[in-house]
Amino acid sequence: MSGDQGGPLVTGHAPGVCADVPDAGPSEKESIVGAVSSLLPVFPWDRLEPYKATAAAHADGIVDLSVGTPVDPVPAVIQQALADAADSHGYPTVWGTAALRDALTAWAGSRLGARDLAHTNVLPIVGSKELVAWLPTQLGLGPGDKVAYPRLAYPTYEVGARLARAEPVVYDDPTTLDPAGLKLLWLNTPSNPTGRVLDADELRRIVAWARGHDVLIASDECYLELGWEADPVSVLHPDVCGGSSEGLIAVHSLSKRSNLAGYRAAFLLGDSAVLGELLQIRKHGGMMVAAPVQAATVAALGDSGHVAEQRERYARRRAALRTAFEAAGFRIEHSEASLYLWATRDEPCWDTVGSLAERGILVAPGDFYGTAGERFVRIAFTATDERVEAAVRRLAD
Ligand SMILES: Cc1ncc(COP(=O)(O)O)c(C=O)c1O
């Protein structure tokens, strides 16, 4: 399962069985079991299962372009660092080793242009999905507070708002939102699913608006190193934030850029007051990154060679798939960055999913990311060269 799936959510109220409390009535049992999961949206990926079965029945096997999970090896330098730290017998710290914090600030300076960050401006997290899901709760948001995210978006922003019992709000342009009650504004650049990038001017405008209304920005930048026709810029770049991280946190992950989805390696950068608060809460909650993963993260951030190599692989696969889908009658929108092509044949997305499944190709329906995506599909180029070639052949038939 990739970061954008996670695992099947139990939705609705499961029947409670509690042998130790014989007198408890059904409503009391239900108030515990299902009280949280029933707040959440229905887990959408189960709906894709029949199409997956159709695609898997293809004589030459399925080409699965539905999920954004890495298929290439973990770079040797990272595996080595993990193995070297295998004898990690003591508890790790939530804030991470000094070596990890040094690696995070150094990378933020050299890669993002955020040169003035100190250790108080960094915080390791256990993969970025957990942070996205729990940030509103850890910030103490609740009923009466609003959490906003793009109209077409990674579903976990909504999940996070709902887990906190805050109000989820979608936007096209965040600066047109009513700031009353708005506490947290998610940006996602480059975007999953559209691949759209917010340029420095756009980000600067949004940051000024959010600061003016005392709204915290969380900018999910996990695809930042995967720009193709755009050069994504961080919210922490001085051209955007004016050299101050006040009111801003950037969320980064090594899952995509370093093929580390299995390690759960990610981190936050930004406002020291916010990160200090999260550190306290996460210490109490025991939200530690495993020590070998901390060591692997240091190695991953210190080596840009594997990132360039992986980019080359994705660039080739992307070009091949883009050409093949366009020749097969698809129109691609945005997609200037990230690991996806956002494509349409101007028909309902489930029709597209169905006809591609007949050819043994599985893609994600756009309505997984919001109703605005109901005539699009998301095509991931996280498949091996051999599977990408198979898709190209099938699309040409
Ligand atoms: C926009 C976005 N944010 C966060 C994540 C979570 O990534 P991870 O938990 O692997 O860091 C994903 C994964 O697909 C994503 O697409």
Instruction: Kindly list the domain boundaries of the chain, sorted by start residue.
Output: 1-39, 41-72+306-396, 88-301
Please tell me the residue having the least CA distance from ligand 1 atom 13. 3
* Residue 135 CA to ligand 1 centre (angstroms): 14
Q: Which CATH architecture fits 41-72+306-396?
A: Alpha-Beta Complex (3.90)
The owner of tokens 């049992």 is 29
In the chain, where do the E strands start and end? 63-64, 122-125, 146-150, 167-171, 182-188, 216-220, 248-253, 266-270, 331-333, 340-344, 361-362, 364-365, 377-380
CA dist 121 and 272 (Å) reads 5
Is residue 187 in contact with ligand 1, taking CB distance under 6 Å?
A: no
- Cis status of the peptide bond prior to 50, with omega within 30 of 0: no
Q: What is the structure's pLDDT at 30?
A: 60
pLDDT of the residue at 43: 83
Nearest Cα residue to atom 16 of ligand 1? 192
pTM: 0.93
Fold of 88-301: Aspartate Aminotransferase; domain 2 (3.40.640)
CA of residue 128 to ligand 1 center, whole Å: 6
Q: Is 120 in the pocket of ligand 1 (CB under 6 A)?
A: no
* CA 145 to ligand 1 centroid distance, Å: 24
* Residue of 219, 222, 251 to mutate, ligand 1, most atoms within 8 A of C-beta: 222
Residue 28's pLDDT is 54
- pLDDT score for 22: 42
127 Cβ below 6 A of ligand 1: yes
What is the pLDDT, as a whole number, of residue 332? 98
Q: Any idea what the Cα angle at residue 373 is, between residues 372 and 374, rounded to 5°?
A: 95
Q: Report the chain (397 residues): mean pLDDT per 10 consecutive residues.
A: 42 34 50 88 90 98 96 98 98 98 98 97 98 98 98 98 98 98 98 98 98 98 98 98 98 98 98 98 98 98 98 98 98 98 98 98 98 98 98 97
Within 10 angstroms of residue 83's Cβ, the number of other Cβ atoms is: 11
Measured in Å, residue 266 CA sits from the centre of ligand 1 at: 10
